Amino acid sequence: MKEEKPSIQNTVTDDIYYPSAEVVAQANVKDPETVRKEAANDIQAYWAKRAQELEWYKKWDTVLDESNKPFYQWFVGGKTNIVLNALDRHVKTWRRNKLALIWESEKGELRTMSYHALNREVCKFANVLKSMGISKGDRVTIYMPRIPETLIAMLATAKIGAVHSVVYGGFSVEALHGRIEDSESKVIITADGGNMNGKKIELKKIVDEALQRTGAPENVVVVKHLGIDVNMEAGRDYWYHELMALPLTRNGLRCETEVMDAEDPLFILYTSGTTGKPKAILHTHGGYQVGVYATLKDVFDLKEEDRWWCTADPGWITGHSYIVYAPLIAGATSFMYEGAPTFPYPDRWWTMIEKYGITVFYSTPTAVRGLMRFGEAWPNRHDLSSLRLLGSVGEPINPEAWRWFYKNIGKEKCPIMDTWWQTETGMFMMAPMPASPLKPGSATKPYPGIEADVVNEAGKSVAPGEEGFLVLKKPWPAMMRTIYKDPERYESTYWSKFPGMYFAGDSARKDKDGYFWIIGRVDDVIKVSGYRLGTAELESAFITHPAVAEAAVIGLPHELKGMAIHAYLILKANHEPNEALVEDLRKHIAHEMGPIAKPEKIEFVKSLPKTRSGKIMRRVLKARAQGMSEGDISTLEE
Ligand code: PRX
C-alpha cells in the first residue's frame, strides 16, 4: 500500500483493490461489466426483468412512458403497493418467522420483530390511521426518534395509500413547522422524545411549538418512548399505545393493502435546494420499489442469512430506501440502533456488530473519520469477523478514511461499496458491486441501466481527468417524479441547465478507466457531516433572530464533517457584536433548525458581496475565506 499524506481531499489515486476469489464466487452479480453492457443495450428490458422479481396486483402495460419529458413514468398501468412487496408477500411464506428488525436503544434495550409481528403492528396502525379519517393521497407527517414505530408508521401510511412526509428527528421547530405547513398533513406521528448521546430530545415539545406557528393538523399521535411528561391537548393528541389497544375494526389485526397505480405517490421528502424553501421530492410506489430492491440486492449482495445494518436515520432518503423499503422487499434482517456511535464509549458500533453478528455494514465518511480519531484500539477490542461487506454514502470518502475503514473494520477482506446517489434519485446511481475492482475515494461506475457523464458548461463531455458537471442521461425507475406542488421548479432545477439531461448539482471527474470521482456540490447546498442543508433556509433562520439584519452562509471544508457552516452577519443598528451574542445565535439556530445546523463560525461584517440585483455572491465569500482568487467579480456591487 502506498504511503499518502493524510488529507480530507478526495484526491484521485491509482491504487486498485481487487476482490478476492471468495468474494466473487458468492456475489449475486459475478460480472458487473457484462450486466452493465446488457442493461445499456436495452434499459427497458433490464428494468422489466427486475420488476418481474416482485409481485404486482396487475402487470404494467408500458415499462417507460417518455411522452411527457421530463415527467417520466414507469410501469404504467401496473397495480401494486410497496407494502405488498415489503410485507404481504413475505407473511405468506416461511419468512413470516424471520426477523425483519433487530433494534437496540441507546440505553441498551433490545426489541426484535419478525415479519409476522411487523405486519401485525402495521395492520393495526393502518386501522388507527383509517379510523382518524386518513385515506389515499392524504399526507402524514412523521417526526420520530430512531425506533421501530417509525417504520411501522411509514409502512402503515403506505399500506392505506396515504403519503408520508418524514421529517428528520434532528430538525427543530422552524424546519418542522415549514414542512408540516407545506405538506398540509392531516396528522402528525411523533414520540414523547428520543435518546441521543445521553441526552433526552423532547420531540413532542418541539411539535407543540411548531404547531403554535401553523394551522394545526387534526391529530397528533404520540409514541411513549422515554416516559417523560408531555403536554397532551384533549381532542387533538392521542397516545399511540392507547389507540393501538382499541378494537378498531371487526377484522382487528387485519387490514387490506390499498391497490395503487404504479405511479401513485408513496412519499414526499423535503430536501434543501439552491434557492428558497426546501422542496418536497416526490416518489411513487411502482418504480421506486423496483429500483431500491434491485440496487440493494446487487450492490450489497444481500443473502437470506445476512444481517444488514444501515446506520442512517429513517428521516433521510438513505433510511427510506435502505433501512425501510429495500431490505424489507428483499426479505432481509435489518439492525437499527437508536443513538450516537460514541455513547457511552467510542466502540458502541463495534460492540453491536459483534453482538448481533452484522454481516453488511453501510455508513458514512463522517462517521468513519469521527471514529478513526479514537484510534484502532477500539475496534480491535471486538471480533468483527462476521462482516463481509462495507458501504459508504453521503459525501466523498477521502482515501485516508477509506483505507482506515478497509483495514480496521473490514480487516482487509471486506470490499467497500461507495454509493453515490441523492434524495432525488431514490436509489444508488453509481456504485461498485462486490466483484468490482475498487479505487479508494471513487464511487466507481454507474449501476446497470444508469448512464452518467461529466460535462462542461456547454453540456459536452469533458476529457478524462477533467472536472465538470455530473449529469444522468437516461431515466431510471426510482427517480423523483416531481417537486410536490411545484412541477415548474422540478423542470427548471434538474432538467433545464442541460436539456435532456438530469443535472445532479455535483461536480465530478471521470478517470481514464471510466471511474467517477465526486468532488462536491456546485450549488448552494452544504453537506455537513453528510447532512444536506440549504444556505437559503439557514439564512432565513438567522434573520428571525432580533439582532440580525442580513445573513450569508457558506460551507467550508472541515476535517471531520467534510463541510462546515460559516455565517457572515450584518447586525441591526443597536446591536453589538460580542461572544454572548455568538453563543445566543448558535442556540437560536439549533432551536429553529436543529443541532446539525449549528454554525462552525460566525463573523460580523459591515457589508456583504452582492450583485447589482442584490443577490449575495457566496462564491466571493468562499474565495475570500480560503484566501483564493475571487474570480470574475465584475458584477460585484459591494
Ligand atoms: O453531493 C452528493 C453527496 O450527497 C448529495 C445528495 O445528498 P442527499 O440528497 O442528502 O442524499 C444523501 C444520501 C444518498 C449528492 O449530490 N453524495 C452522496 N453520496 C455520495 C456523495 N458524494 C460523494 N460520494 C458519495 N458516495
Specify the pTM. Answer: 0.95
Three cell numbers, residue 180: 408540516
Average the pLDDT over 248-252 and give the result.
65
Q: Is 444 in the pocket of ligand 1 (CB under 6 A)?
A: no
> Is residue 623 scored above 70 in pLDDT?
yes
- Any ligand 1 atom below 6 A from CB of 190: no
Q: Residues 594, 170: contact at Cβ < 8 Å?
A: yes
Which SS3 state, helix, strand or coil, does residue 449 take? coil
Atom 8, ligand 1: which residue's CA is nearest? 422
Contact predicate 175/167, CB 8 Å: yes
Q: Model confidence over 131-158: pLDDT tens digits?
A: 999 999 999 999 999 999 999 999 999 9
Q: Which atom of ligand 1 is nearest to the CA of 431?
A: 26
pLDDT tens digits, residue range 482-502?
Answer: 999 999 999 999 999 999 999
Nearest alpha carbon, ligand 1 atom 22: 395
Spatial neighbors of 132 by CB under 8 A, at least 6 apart, are: 186, 187, 218, 219
pLDDT at residue 253, as a whole number: 82
Closest Cα to atom 13 of ligand 1: 394
Q: Whose CA is nearest to atom 2 of ligand 1?
A: 395
- Is the per-residue pLDDT at 2 higher than 60? no
- Ligand 1 atom at shortest distance from the alpha carbon of 521: 1
Residue 373, Cβ neighbours under 10 Å: how many?
Answer: 11
Mutate to test the pocket of ligand 1, among 283, 421, 445, 563 (most ligand atoms within 8 A of CB): 421
Q: Report how far ligand 1's centroid is from the alpha carbon of 255 (Å).
A: 37
Phi, psi of 248 (to 5 degrees): -85, -35
Q: Quick one: which H or E segment has residue 468?
A: strand 467-472
Q: What angle do CA 394, 398, 401 make, to 5 degrees?
A: 95
For cell 461529466, what's the residue? 454
Residue with cell 481527468: 465
Q: Write out pLDDT tens, residues 87-128.
A: 999 999 999 999 999 999 999 999 999 999 999 999 999 999
CB atoms within 10 A of CB 164: 24
Does the pLDDT at position 1 exceed 60?
no
> Quick check: 389 and 360 in contact, CB under 8 A?
yes
Is residue 422 lining ligand 1, measured as CB closer than 6 Å?
yes
CB atoms inside a 10 Å sphere around CB 9: 13
Give 420's DSSP letter.
B
Helix spans in 525-578 (H): 535-542
Lowest mean pLDDT among 298-302, 358-362, 531-535, 610-614: 610-614
Query: What's the burial of 245, exposed, middle or buried (CB within 10 Å: 0-12/13-18/19+)?
Result: exposed
Residue 367 CA to ligand 1 center (angstroms) comes to 15
Q: Residues 238-244: what's their mean pLDDT?
A: 96
pLDDT of residue 6: 46
- The mean pLDDT value of the chain amounts to 94
Inter-residue contact 258 to 160 (CB < 8 Å) = yes
DSSP letter string, 134-164:
--TT-EEEEE--SSHHHHHHHHHHHHTT-EE
**Which pLDDT score, from 0 to 100, does residue 609 have?**
93
Q: In sequence order, what are the beta bridge partners of 503?
A: 471
H/E stretch holding 528? strand 525-528
CA distances from 296 to 88, 322, 536 (A): 20, 7, 34
Residue 281 CB–ligand 1 contact under 6 Å: no
Q: Which atom of ligand 1 is nearest to the CA of 424?
A: 9
Of these ranges, 127-136, 610-619, 626-635, the one predicted with the greatest mean pLDDT is 127-136
pLDDT at 12: 65
Instruction: List phi, psi (to 5°) of 253.
Output: -90, 5
CA of 531 to the centre of ligand 1 (A): 9
d(CA 623, CA 284): 41
Supply the pLDDT for residue 629: 74
**Rounded-to-integer distance, Cα 134 and Cα 140, Å:** 8
CB distance 477 to ligand 1 below 6 Å: no
> Does the pLDDT value for residue 255 go beyond 80?
yes
Q: Ligand 1 pocket, 518 CB below 6 A?
A: yes
Ligand 1 in reach of 318 Cβ (< 6 A): yes
Q: Are 152 and 125 in contact (CB under 8 A)?
A: yes
CA torsion through residues 194, 198, 200, 201, sign: negative
CA of 9 to the centre of ligand 1 (A): 16
C-alpha cell at 244: 393501538
DSSP 463: P
Number of H helices, E strands in the chain: 21, 30
Distance 159 CA to ligand 1 centre (A): 29
Can you give the pLDDT at residue 5?
43
Per-residue model confidence (pLDDT) at position 283: 98
- 532 CB less than 6 Å from ligand 1? yes
pLDDT of 368 higher than 90? yes
Q: Which of 64-68, 160-164, 243-247, 414-418 has the lowest mean pLDDT?
A: 243-247
> Which pLDDT score is estimated for 102?
98
Task: Give yes or no for residue 130 CB within 6 A of ligand 1.
Answer: no
With CA atoms as reference, report the closest residue to 225 among 339, 327, 127.
Answer: 339
Question: What pLDDT band is residue 7 in, cutting at 50, 70 and 90?
Answer: low
pLDDT score, position 509: 97
List the one residue out of 91, 110, 160, 96 whose CA is nearest residue 130. 160
129, 232 Cβ separation under 8 angstroms: no
Can you tell me the distance from the alpha carbon of 193 to that of 45, in angstroms, rounded to the nearest whole number? 47
* Sequence letter at residue 154: M
Condensed to tens digits (0 to 9), the pLDDT of residues 172-216 reads 999 999 999 999 999 999 999 999 999 999 999 999 999 999 877
pLDDT more than 90, % of the chain = 91
C-alpha cell at 276: 428558497
Average pLDDT for residues 606-622, to the nearest whole number? 90
Query: What pLDDT is recorded for position 612?
Result: 86
Give Cα 139 to chain centroid, integer Å: 20
Phi/psi of residue 44, nearest 5 degrees: -65, -40
Q: In 368-438, at which residue ranges do the beta strands (DSSP E only) sit?
A: 389-393, 416-419
In this predicted structure, what is the pLDDT of residue 636? Answer: 64
